Structure 1
Amino acid sequence: MVRWLYVLLLGVPAAYIAEFLHASPLVIFILAALGLIPLAGLIGVSTEALAERVGQSVGGLLNATFGNAAEIIIGLAALAAGLPEVVRASLSGSIIGNSLLVLGMSMFFGGWKYREQRFSARQTGQYASMLTLAVIGMAIPSLLATVGESTQPGDKIIQGNQLHQMSLGISVILLLCYVAYIAYSVFGVRAAQGDLATKGSHKADSNKDSAGHSSDTHNATVERMSTTPHNNDKSSTEVKKQDKGRFAGLSHQWHTNIWFPIGLLAIATVITAFMSELLVGSIEPLTKQIGLNPFFVGLIILPIVGNAAEHFSAVTSARQNHMEISMAITAGSSIQIALLAAPLLVLAGVVIGVPLDLNFSLLEVAMFALVAGLYSIISLDGRSNWLEGLLLCAFYLILAVGTFFTPA
C-alpha cells in the first residue's frame, strides 16, 4: 500500500472524536469512510505477508478468504443495524463498480500512458465466463421473485418467507461453487496442465488470490513506482538509506516473524469492525438530514470505500503495463463477492436475526447482465485503450448520477 494512504488513518480517531462531540452525521460518515480506506489496505498487506510465509496453496487460500474482508465486515454492520437494502445495494455496487469504474480507470490510465495495452484473451475469457456464471447464480432469486411463474395464469410470484428460504438454499450452493473455485484455481485440483503452467510462469502467478492479486508482482510494482522517480536524486537516496537503517529491525521482523502480520491482520480487522459500525450508524441520520437515497449510499459510496485499496492496486498494475493483473483483479473480486460475500451475508442474517434475501431490483439485475457482457466483449480481442476505459467510467458515472437523483 502506498505511503500517503496511511495519512487517512487519522480518520479513525477523528471519526470517534466527531461521534463523541455529536458532530453532523455527514462529518462522521466522511471521517469513518476515510479511515476505512487504509484499514482495508492493511488487511490486504498483512494477508499478502502471511501468504508469502505459509506457501503458495495456503497463501492463496488466505488471500481468497480475506480478499473482500472489508466489504463483508461493512455488510455485517449494516445487517446488525437493520439495513438489508443497503447490504444488497453494496453487494451489487461492488460487482458493478469493479467491472465499470475500476476496470475503466485501469484502462484509461494504462492506455493513456501506453496508447494500447495487450493481455491474454484466453485467460481473461476464463475470468469472463466465471464472472457471468457467478452473477447469474446471484440474480436467479430476483428473476424468480419478479417474473418467475407469473407468466402462467393463476400462479403467484414468489415472495416473503419462500423467497428467503430460496435465497438460503442458493447461498449454500454458491458457497459450494466457491469451494470448487478455490480448489481449482488455488490448489489446482484436476486443473488442465496448460492452466497450471500458465499460473507458474505468468506475471500474476505465485501468490495470486481468487481476486486475481499477485502480491509479489504488485509489491514489486509499487516499489518501482516509489523508487524510479528518485534514481537521480542524491538527497532522496540518502534519506532512503537513513530510513532503511532506522527501520531495519522492524522490517526484518516483518519479513521473518509470522506473528507481525498476524497481529496487524487481527488489529486491522477489529478496528475495521468498529469503524464499519460507526459508518453504518450514520447512514440513517445522514439520509434524513440531507435527503440522500440509502440505495445510492449502498450502491456507490460503500463499495468505493471498501474496495479503495484494491482499486488502487488495479490502476497501479495497469500503469505498469500489467493489464492482465488489472483484468484479473476486477473480475476476481466480483466473483468473490457473488460466490462468497453475498452467501455469507445471507446466512449471517439468520444468526443476526435480520433476514436478508437475494432479491435485487430489476435495475441491479440488468446491470449484472450488462457488466458480465461488457467484460466478455472487452476480453475478446486482448487489447485495450484509454477511450474504452473512459467510456466505462462515463457509464458508471451515469449510473451514479441516476441513482443520486432517485427519490429516497
Structure 2
Amino acid sequence: MSKNPGINVDVAEPEKAWRPGSRDDGDVSPTGGEFPRDGEETVGFWRVGTKTADDNHAERIAEAIPKPFRFHPLKMLMITARSTSRLSSYTHLLLPAIPAGIVMWYTSRNKNPVLVFVFNFIAMIPSGNLLAFGSGELQHRLPKVWGASLEIFTGAVVEIIICLILLIDLQFDVVRAALIGSMFANLLLISGACFLAGGIAWKQQKIAPYVSEVSSAALLVSAVGTVSPSLFFQTIHYRKDVNEHRAEVRVLRVSRVVSIGLFFSYLCFLFFQLHTHSSSFHHVLERAESVYIGRKQYRKKLSVLEAIFVSAVGLACVSFCAYFLVREIPGIVEEHGISELFMGLILVPLIEKTSEHLTALNQAWDNQIDLAIYHCLGSTIQTALLVTPLIIMVGWALDLDMDLNFQLFVALSLLFAILVVGNFMRDGKTHWLKGIFLLMVYYVLAVAAFNDPNEKKEAWGMDIREKVEAAHAAAKALHPAAEEKRSFTFL
C-alpha cells in the first residue's frame, strides 16, 4: 500500500467468496454449496482476505489439543465427563455400578449370584466407554487412518479379555457363541440401528464405494474361513468310518491351521488399509469429517498422559467386571435355565463393544454414515480375522481343545447375515427401512437362541452325562499316551 496522500487508500471490506462443492467427490460443504446460515459452523470454503476458513479450522482444532505431558486432574475429569457425544456421556451415570459390582462379588456372590451378574453386566458399559474414550483421545496425535484403526482396535480389547476369561474357565461353547454373537451384533443390530437412526435424521444417506466394496469382500472371505471348520465337522461326523471323537480331533486340527491363515489375512488387511491403499481410506475419513463440523471436533482434548491414564483406569475396570461377570455365567445357565447359546450369542456381545456401538449411532445421526458403517463392518472383520484366531491359538498354547466347531444353525446364519448386509449396501444408499429389516433379522436369531435347549442338561440328562464322562475318563486312564496323541497332534 502506498503512503502517497494523493492516492485513495480506502479499501472495501474483503469479499466473501463461496466455492460450491460436490457431495460425491469428497469436497463437501455443510450447506451443500450455499452460503452458510447465521450461527452455522463451516469449514473449508470461506475465503476472507488472505486467511481461509481452512486455516481457522486447523487453528481451532490445534488450540484444543494440549501439550503431551500435561496432567491436570480437574480438566481431565471435565473433558472425560463431556465425552465425545451426548449419547456416550450419558453412560457416566452408570459409573456407580462399577464399585457396586466389585463389592457384591466379595460379599454376595454365594447368596445373590444374579445380582452380581446384573451389576457387573451394567458396569461393563461405563468401563468400556472409559477405555474407548481414553484410547480415542490418542488418535489426535496420529494420522487419520491410524487413529481410526486404533479406535476400532479398542473394541477388540474388551472382547479379547472376555473371551480369554471364558476360555481359561473352560466355557468353550460360550466362547464360540460370543465370537459369532459379536459379529451378529455388529452386522445386524448396530448396522440396523445406524441405518434406522440415520434414516430418521436424513431421508437418504450415501455410502462411499470404498467402504461397501472392500468391507463386503473382506467380510465374506473372513466368514467363510471362520465357519468352514464347523461345516467340515458336520460333513465327516456322519460317515460310518469316522466316530465322533475322531471327527472332533480332525476339526481341532483344521481349526488351528485355519486360525493361522485367518491371522495372516488380518495382517494383509491392515497392510492394505494402512499402507498400499491408505489414500482411499483417508479420502473417506476426510469426506466424513467435512460433513459435520461442531463440538466433537473443536472440544477440548486430553493430553497423551491423561489419555493413557484414563485408558488404564478403563482397562482395569473392564478386566475386573468381565472376570466377575464371566464367573457367574455357569450358575445362571444351570440354575435359571437360560440358554447357553443365548447367553453367548446375545447377552455377552451386547456389553463387549457398547462404547463403539454408541459412537457408530452418533455418527449415523450426524450424517457420517461412512464412519458408522466402517465401525460396524470393521469390527466384524476384526473379530473374524483377529480375535477368533487369537483365541484358538491361545487355547492351542494352553493345551485346550478350543476349536471353531460352531453349531450348524449359527454358522449358516452368519453367512446369510453377511449376504443380507452386502445386498443392502450394494446400491450405496441407506434408509430407515433397511435398518428395520436388519433389526428384524437379529430379532429372529435372538428368539431362536433363547429357545435353544441346553444339551447337557435337557437332552442327555444329568445321570447320562455323568456316565458318559466317567466312560471317557476310564478310556483315557487305560490309554493315556494314545489319547494325548490323538487330541493334540498337529499334523
Shared topology, TM-score over 0.5?
yes
Alignment-mate amino acid for residue 259 of structure 2: S
Match runs of 1:289-328 below 5 Å = 289-328=335-374
Matches within 5 A, 1:155-170: 159-170=247-258
Q: What is the deviation of 1:60?
A: 5.2
Question: Structure with the greater relative contact order (CA < 8 A, sep ≥ 6): 1 or 2?
Answer: 1
Secondary structure of 2:257's counterpart equals helix
Q: Tell me what 2:18 maps to.
A: none
> How far apart are 1:349 and its partner, in Å?
1.4
The aligned runs of 1:35-50 (5 Å cut-off) are 35-50=123-138
Query: CA separation in 1, counterparts of 2:152 and 2:433?
Result: 32
- Alignment CA distance shift 1:221-1:93 (3 Å): farther
One-letter code aligned to 1:11: A
Cα contact 1:221–1:316 (8 A) shared by 2 = no
Choose the corresponding residue for 2:287, options 182, 202, 208.
Answer: 202
How does 1:1-400 map onto structure 2 within 5 Å? 1=83, 2-22=88-108, 23-56=111-144, 59=147, 62-63=150-151, 65-148=153-236, 154=241, 159-186=247-274, 188-189=275-276, 191=277, 195=280, 198-199=283-284, 201-203=286-288, 223=296, 255-256=302-303, 258-400=304-446
* Cross-structure match for 2:7: none
**Aligned partners of 2:146, 2:428: CA distance in 1, in Å?**
31
The offset of 1:361, in angstroms, is 0.7
C-alpha distance after superposition, 1:360-400 (max 9, x if no partner): 11111111111110121011111222122112112211211
- With 273-282 and 59-68 compared, the bigger mean Cα shift is at 59-68
SS for the counterpart of 2:367 is coil
Separation in structure 1 between the aligned mates of residue 254 and residue 296 of structure 2, nearest angstrom: 48
Q: For 2:218 and 2:376, how far apart are their aligned partners in 1?
A: 12
1:161 offset after TM fit, Å? 2.8
Aligned partner of 2:21 in structure 1 is: none
**1:202 CA displacement:** 2.8
The CA distance in 2 between the partners of 1:60 and 1:322, in whole Å, is: 14
SS at the partner of 2:205? strand
Q: Unaligned regions of 5+ residues in structure 1, if any?
A: 206-216, 228-243, 245-250
CA distance, structure 1, for counterparts of residue 444 and residue 305 of structure 2: 46
Per-residue deviation, residues 123-163 of structure 1 (Å, max 9, x unmatched)? 31221111111111111111111115967x85677623332
CA distance in 1, matches of 2:294, 2:114: 36
Do the aligned partners of residues 221 and 393 (structure 1) sit closer, same or farther apart at CA in structure 2, a change above 3 Å counting? farther
Aligned identity (percent) is 24
CA contact (8 A) 2:263 2:386 kept: yes
Alpha-carbon distance in structure 2 between the residues aligned to 1:222 and 1:162: 55
Tell me the matched-pair count. 365
Q: Is the 8 A contact 1:121 1:381 kept in 2?
A: no
1:244-283: per-residue Cα shift (whole Å, max 9, x none)? 9xxxxxx6xx633x22222222222222111111000111
Aligned CA-pair RMSD: 2.6
Render the CA deviation track for 1:139-195: whole Å, top value 9, x for unaligned. 1111111115967x8567762333222211111111111111111112x23x386x2
Structure with more of its chain in helix, by fraction: 1
Q: Do the aligned residues in 2 keep the contact of 1:41 with 1:309 (CA within 8 Å)?
A: yes
Spell out, residue by residue over 1:29-69, the C-alpha distance to the aligned partner (whole angstroms, 9 max, x if none): 11111111122122221222222224446545644543311
- For the residues of structure 2 that align with 1:196 and 1:299, how far apart are their CA atoms? 31
Q: Return the index of the structure with the highest Cα Rg.
A: 2
Moved more, 116-125 or 26-35: 116-125
Distance (Å, rounded) in 2 between the aligned partners of 1:200 and 1:51: 13
2:284–2:370 Cα contact (<8 Å) kept: no
CA contact (8 A) 1:77 1:273 kept: no
Q: Which runs of 5+ in 2 are unaligned?
A: 1-82, 455-491
Contact 2:363 2:371 in 1 (8 A): yes
- Write the distance in 1 (CA, Å) between the matches of 2:278 and 2:99: 50
Relative distance call for 1:162 and 1:66 in structure 2 (3 A) is same
Whole-angstrom distance in 2 between the partners of 1:110 and 1:199: 18
Which residue identity lines up with residue 229 of structure 2 in the other structure? P
Matched AA of 2:453: P
Distance in 2, Cα, partners of 1:11 & 1:343:
33
